[in-house]
Amino acid sequence: MRGAGKWAFWRFNWLIRHKLVRALERVGPHARGVLLDVGCGAKPFAPVLASKVDRYLGADLPGSRDLGRRGVDPMPDVYAKAEDLPFRDGSLDTVLAMSLLTYLPEPSAFLDESRRVLRPGGMALLEFTQMAPIHAWLPDYQRFTPTGARRLLDRAGFDVVEIVPVGGLMTRVGLSTIATLNRVNRGPTRALTELPVRALYIVLQLVFELLDHLWVEPRETITHLVAARRR
């Protein structure tokens, strides 16, 4: 994702991305001091949180497909595994991890590492995915309920401050529909399909956005954004 894109409803997967931006805006007041975005890619969420912190840092793997274009997009400040961050104990104020925990074989190891690098009272802003298809190329290990997220955080030494649900069943159906449509828009016929498919993106995403507001079932949430404080 290049940039926050809260209003870019013509872009692929805007249906969930703008909801994540709104959730980040809601928990944004918890961010402060030096923030580390773990699994940062091209730092798409920096426009949302950078003004709330003194320094916005990013960490990612050197071979990540989510990295931006060198010289064009923001790059990670450090290359490191989420479970082995190159920062001193208690040197950070905020840790951010979006769309990360589900791809870690041992999420508790990352939570322990987050606690280590955070100062006492520091904040972790973490996305816990509950409902999503298996990733196309990344090793995909976990899904989380709010109860499971609370248990993991409690065992790692964090107190949950706020849980923000993001997206519902209609968003999930919309995303699957758009993903199918996107597979059509490939190959030698793309010159012919690009404009019609982009137009359908707009229609479908706006329709499913409306349906998501009308059809609300708390148990069928796509993901949760959790703000937790280090004890």
- Say if residue 141 is in the same domain as residue 185: no
Tally of domains in the chain: 2
Q: Which two tokens stand for residue 211?
A: 């349906």
Output the pLDDT for position 5: 62
The residue range of the domain holding 120 is 14-168+217-230
Are 196 and 225 contained in the same domain? no
* Judgement on whether residues 53 and 100 belong to the same structural domain of the protein: yes
Q: Is residue 9 part of a domain?
A: no
pLDDT of residue 20: 96
Examine the domain organization and report whether 116 and 153 are in the same domain: yes
In the chain, which stretches have pLDDT less than 50? 1-3
> Is 8 part of any domain?
no
Verify that 100 and 209 share a domain, yes or no: no
Answer whether residue 141 is part of any domain: yes
Q: Is residue 128 part of a domain?
A: yes
Tell me if 108 is assigned to some domain.
yes
Tell me, yes or no, whether 155 and 201 share the same domain.
no
| SS3 per-residue string spanning the chain | CCCCCCCCCCCCCHHHHHHHHHHHHHHHHHCCCEEEEECCCCCCCHHHHHHHCCEEEEEECCCCCCCCCCCCCCCCCEECCCCCCCCCCCCEEEEEECCCHHHCCCHHHHHHHHHHHEEEEEEEEEEEECCCCCCCCCCCCCCCCHHHHHHHHHHCCEEEEEEEEECCHHHHHHHHHHHHHHHHCCHHHHHHHHHHHHHHHHHHHHHHHHHHHHCCCCCCCCEEEEEEEEC
Residues 122 and 182 in one domain: no
* Residues 110 and 187 reside in one and the same domain: no
Q: What CATH number did the domain enclosing 58 receive?
A: 3.40.50.150
Residue 129 shares a structural domain with residue 143:
yes
Do 97 and 140 belong together in one domain?
Answer: yes
2-12 pLDDT, tens digit each = 445 677 777 87
Contact 117, 88 (CB under 8 A): yes
pLDDT per position as a tens digit, 55-95: 999 999 998 888 878 877 889 999 999 999 999 999 999 99
Predicted local distance difference test score (pLDDT) of residue 89: 98
